[in-house]
Amino acid sequence: MNPKYASLWEPFRLPVSGIDLKNRIMMAPMTTWSGNPDGTVSDAEIEYYKKRSGGAGVVATACAYVMPEGKAFSGQIGVHSDDMLPSLTRIAQTIQKEGAKAILQIHHGGRMCPPGEVPEGQPVSASAVAAEREGAAVPRAMTEEEILAAIKAYGNATRLAILAGFDGVEIHGANTYLIQQFFSPHSNRRTDEWGGTLEKRMKFPLAVVDDVLKNVKQYATSPFAVGYRLSPEEMEEPGITIEDTFQLVDALAEKPIDYLHISTLDFWGGSMRDESDKRSRTTLIQECVGNKIPVIGVGSLHTPDDVLKVVEEGNVPLVALGRELLMEPEWVQKAQNGSTDKIRTTLSVHDQDELVIPDNLWHGLITRKGWLPVVDNE
C-alpha cells in the first residue's frame, strides 16, 4: 500500500447512526436508466453494482422514486410500495456482499419529470413555473394535501429501505428536483406556509427530513444512516444563493442526520452566480457546518492525488466518486495496492462488457458529449 494515500483508507464513523465506513470513499449516486418498466431492478443493474461495490466504503444507489408522480427517468427504480421490497433487497444485499455499506437515494423529480413518465402526464411542483430549459413542461402547483402526501412518501420510502436491509438513505435535495424546487425562489412562488420567505421555503425540505427520521426511529432495529444531498447554488434569477444555502445547512446540521453531500460538477469550482467568486462551494459549507456534521465532496476528482487534496487541504472528511467509478470500477483497489498507473482515465468504446455497464447507461455515456473522455483505442 502506498503510504501517501493512507489517510484515504482510514475508517470513518458516521456520528449519529454510529455506522463504521471502511474508508473515506463513496460511490456517488448515478442514474442508470436501466431498471425494469415496473420500477424493479434489472439483472444488468445488479451486476453493475456488484462490479463497483468491492472498494468504496459506501455505495449510494441511483435515485429511487418515492411515488409514481415523482418518476423522473425511464428505467428508474422505485421505492414507492411494498411490492418493491424484493427488488430493493436484491440491491442492498448485492452491495453489502462485496463489502460496502448500501445507501438508497430517495427522490421525487417534481417539475423535472417528463410528462410521459408520470400519471396523467402532468408533472407537479411547488408552483406552476417551468424550468428554464428547452421544452420544459409547466408543472401544476401542488395542493396542501399533495405536499403532505409527498412528505409521507419520503418517510415510507425510508421504511421500505429499512425493511430491505439497506444501511441508510440519502435524501435527494439537489440537482433541481422536488425538494430543491421548494427551497428555490425560482420554482417556489407560493404565498402560503410553504413558500415566500426563506424560512417558509425551507419548510418542505426540513419536513421531509423529520418524516424520514420518524420512520428510522419507528422501524430501524439496527444502525441506519440518513444523509442529505444538496446543490449549493442555482444559475436562475431569482435562484438559490450560497447565503441561502448557509441557512439551510445550519438548520440541517441541527437535525440528527449523518452527513451532507454537496453536489457540484467540480469540487474546486467557484460560484455559478458570480464569476469573480472562485471559492469552492463545498469548502465554504465545510467551514460553515463541518464542525457539526460530516460533509461529502464530489466533482472532477479523478486521481488519488485529487482526492487526497480534498481531504487534506479542503478538510472534507469524505469524498464521492461518480464518473471515475464508471470508467474504473476498481479505482479504490488500484489506488490502495499501488497500481495508480493502471487506473483508467478514459472510457473505451470497446470496454462495455469488461466494465459491466448496462446498455441504456452505456448508450448515454458514449453519446453525451463532454461528460466522459470517450476514446476508440483500436
Positions marked active-site? 177
State how far the Cα of 289 lies from the Cα of 253, in Å rounded to an integer.
Answer: 7
Peptide linkage before 205 cis (omega within 30 of 0) = no
**Extended beta strands in 193-301, E state:** 225-230, 259-262, 295-298
Instruction: Specify whether the CB–CB gap between 324 and 302 falls below 8 A.
Output: yes
CB distance 125 to 142 below 8 Å: yes
Q: Cα dist. 41→2, 45, 160, 266, 270 in Å? A: 37, 6, 15, 30, 37
Beta strands, E only, the chain: 12-13, 20-21, 25-27, 58-60, 64-65, 77-78, 101-107, 124-125, 140-141, 168-173, 225-230, 259-262, 295-298, 318-321, 347-348, 374-375
